[in-house]
Structure 1
């Protein structure tokens, strides 16, 4: 099985401290890495054709080895449109993919990968989850298979988000498996020193309850509900951005309808394999979706050992 190809980086890439940054002069990669990108497309399919084509161009430029997508629109009963949308994206990028239906929403998901990678298994979980969970196990030429998952937590209900993460960790927290979970978590990081408490006065009062810990006392100051991220952390998973010490950067809120938050994140059982993290924050990306794409680079030779290097 062919190994990972060399990838093109961007100027915003952040390499692991004490490790060679794979991105050399001019954005060229100087070491073999596997690039995984996560992107909430904001109603792909309901959006304009021109917007979709520009999103294809953005993704072609990034050339990910694995791509995790959220918000692919299909409100048909048989979800036939979802399959066509995923096929269109796969053809545009020269990738293979699986659609991940969202059983309680019209906003579906997908995972795509390079055709050189063999998909050893594909699973979709959705009955108890708000949107769902897609999982593919890939042979990328590494010492062990790479398990990649995509998810999208509930936008309005903190209790549902926590319940979803209970299911996700139950399925994917096995330290023996090399796992990366990409998602729009609609939530906050576990550590308030990295993901600061937002200025709740900037959000319409009727929306605040969607994001905070409930209190029966109406005058209680709002406090971000960090339980989903804390459960992921206690289950042995590692949040890529703070693990690498990357400067905090929002992935949502740039369109003005939401708080400036890091909604999107990668969690992994192999933090020692992380070689880079960045938010794709360009003027084009800011116009194409209410989420900015995020990317990690992994060293496939470091996937064979268990979780280490906790922060």
Structure 2
């Protein structure tokens, strides 16, 4: 049996308040429907509170034909609720109005069952700039722990420490993590010591660059991508599914032009992927970045999907 799990940064997705926002929301819905996944990890679900973000996740689930309600926890007595983990960092829109914090969540197909007691929200602060959501899902065989995460975009040292916290949630598990990691992978092409991801920053020179590169005592030295967070995950057994599947390299972002016509300052790079635990790694079958006319227009990140055969894990 093959299961398909995806990850998708929804680009500041809030409840639509205008015709243009409704049009983009509908575009996101159609892209997700086209993925045909058994589970989807999503980032940048905006809401001024976790409850508001939960309502948006429930609406998104309903419109895409997916589910998002956790199972009640028999141990703690916690009731069912939307699979949303709360961030403490927000987003003002172009007018300066607060549109909500950047929450993360998980969606799954109707024939997939959430395992009672298998849900946990690692909410932002003190552990994360954004958040980590994990849930055990029964795909019809052994339950798999599925996580959604978004890394710190501004503080390389914090991003490194966040990676340590993330790996602690997956040690010894049969698990998969979908995320916008906000950093370049440290995994290598199969059978080589060559990085799967080239360094996209070597020729760049702009004010935001310091958030993505190693510190240089001499700023005239060539910039080098900071891969420390990704290296922590690799060493601790959260492995990048793309090189495991020997998939052709493809950027997950860099295509976006903003409302005033400014292109993505970072250029093409791959910061969205799925990472599997060592136990699940033998089951990785395929890995692809979904680039279509619709996905290019719907978000500044492209969705990524990995196919897994759990029976091989």
Please give the secondary structure, in 2, of the residue aligned with 1:291. coil
Q: Which residue pairs with 2:158 in the alignment?
A: 160
Please give the secondary structure, in 1, of the residue aligned with 2:211. coil
Q: CA deviation at 1:217?
A: 2.5
1:66 corresponds, among 39, 43, 63, to 39
Q: Which residue pairs with 1:92 in the alignment?
A: 63
Residue 103 of structure 2 is aligned to residue 103 of structure 1: no
- With structure 1 as the length reference, what TM-score do the two structures score? 0.82
- With structure 2 as the length reference, what TM-score do the two structures score? 0.81
Residue 95 of structure 2 is aligned to residue 124 of structure 1: no
Q: CA deviation at 1:201?
A: 3.5
User: Do the aligned partners of 1:151 and 1:182 also contact (CA within 8 Å) in 2?
Assistant: yes
How many pairs align? 266
Q: CA deviation at 1:199?
A: 4.4
The 5 Å alignment of 1:11-50 reads 32-45=1-14, 48-50=21-23
User: Do the aligned partners of 1:246 and 1:277 also contact (CA within 8 Å) in 2?
Assistant: yes
Distance 2:110 2:4 in 1: 14
Q: Which residue pairs with 2:184 in the alignment?
A: 188
> What runs of 5+ residues in structure 1 fail to find an aligned partner?
1-31, 304-311
Moved beyond 3 Å, runs of 4+: 199-202
> What runs of 5+ residues in structure 2 fail to find an aligned partner?
69-82, 91-100, 189-193, 257-262
CA distances 1:242-301 after superposition (whole Å, capped 9, x unpaired): 111111110011123122110101110111111111100112111111100000111132
For the aligned residues, what is the CA RMSD?
Answer: 1.5
Distance 2:105 2:10 in 1: 11
The 5 Å alignment of 1:201-216 reads 201-202=203-204, 204-216=205-217
Q: Which residue pairs with 1:18 in the alignment?
A: none
Q: Which residue pairs with 2:78 in the alignment?
A: none
Q: Which residue pairs with 1:276 in the alignment?
A: 286
Q: Which residue pairs with 1:230 in the alignment?
A: 231
Q: Which residue pairs with 2:135 in the alignment?
A: 136
